[in-house]
Amino acid sequence: DVKVTQSSRYLVKRTGEKVFLECVQDMDHENMFWYRQDPGLGLRLIYFSYDVKMKEKGDIPEGYSVSREKKERFSLILESASTNQTSMYLCASSLLGADSYEQYFGPGTRLTVT
Amino acid sequence: AQSVTQLDSQVPVFEEAPVELRCNYSSSVSVYLFWYVQYPNQGLQLLLKYLSGSTLVKGINGFEAEFNKSQTSFHLRKPSVHISDTAEYFCAVSGYSSASKIIFGSGTRLSIRP
C-alpha cells in the first residue's frame, strides 16, 4: 500500500513564526503536492513538484515556499505564519505519466496560527 | 482551464436510502473525472474514475457515477447507504494533457441518519 505520512497531525504556531510541514511517501512517486483544505472551498493547490529540486506554483502559492531535496520528501514552508494560514494542509503523491491522475493523500496537518 | 461545481454542501439521508451527489464540470478540452472520499480524520482516497469508454463507472463500496457529456455532469449515486458512508465527497477533474493537476470541487458532506 502507498503510504504518505505527514510530520504532525496538529500544530499550533504564533504569528510571524517560520513553520515547516513535512511529507514523506514510500512508493517512489515522482509527483508530490501540497494542498490546503478550507470549509466550502475544497482543496486548493499550493505547490507541486514533479522531480527532485523541481517545483511549480499552484493556485495559491503566496506566503508559501517548498523544498524537495529528496524524491520521497516534500516540505512546505511558511516563512512568516499569519492567522489567515490557519487551515488543514494535505500532502499527496502520484506517479508520473498515464496513471498520474490518482493521487495518494496523507492524513493532513491541522495548523492553527494564533 | 477546468472547473468543478458541487451544488450541495451537505446531504442528509436515512440509512438504507438511496443517495445522489451532484457534480457539474466546465472545460474547453476533454477531461478525466473523479470522485474522491474523505472519511473523518483521514486524507482523501480515490472512489472512482472516468477516463474513457463506458459512461457508467463503478467504484468501491457500491458507489457508481455516470458521465454525461451533454450535461457536463458526473453525479455520484448509491442505491442504499450505510452509516459507514458518512464522509465528505469531492468531485474532481483534470485535462488529458495535464492529468497530474487535478481541480477539486468544494465537497459534499454526506451524513447518514439511523
Residue ranges of chain A whose CB lies within 8 Å of a chain B CB: 4, 31, 35, 40-45, 48, 50, 90, 92, 94, 96, 98, 100-108
Which residue of A lies nearest to B32 if distances are taken between CA atoms?
A: A101
Residue written as cell 473523479?
Answer: B34
Distance from CA of A10 to the nearest CA of B (A): 11
Question: Residue B102: which residues within 8 A CB-CB, separation 6 or more?
Answer: A101, A103, B34, B92, B93, B94
When pLDDT is averaged across residues B57-68 and rounded to a whole number, the result is 95
* CB atoms closer than 10 angstroms to residue B1: 9
SS3 label, residue B96 = helix
Which candidate in A6, A74, A103 is best for mutational testing of the B interface (most B CBs within 10 A)?
A103
**pLDDT tens digits, residue range B64-111?**
999 999 999 999 999 999 999 999 999 999 887 665 688 999 999 999
**Does the pLDDT value for residue A2 go beyond 80?**
no
DSSP string, A4-68: EEES-SEEEE-TT--EEEEEEESS--SEEEEEEEETTTEEEEEEEESSTT--EE-S--TT-EEEE
The x, y and z cell numbers of residue A29, run together, are 512517486
**pLDDT value of position A96:** 78
What is the count of residue pairs from A and B with beta carbons less than 8 Å apart? 53
**pLDDT value of position B101:** 81
**pLDDT tens digits, residue range A10-67?**
999 999 999 999 999 998 999 999 999 998 899 999 999 999 989 999 999 999 999 9
A110: amino acid identity, one letter: R
**pLDDT value of position A98:** 64
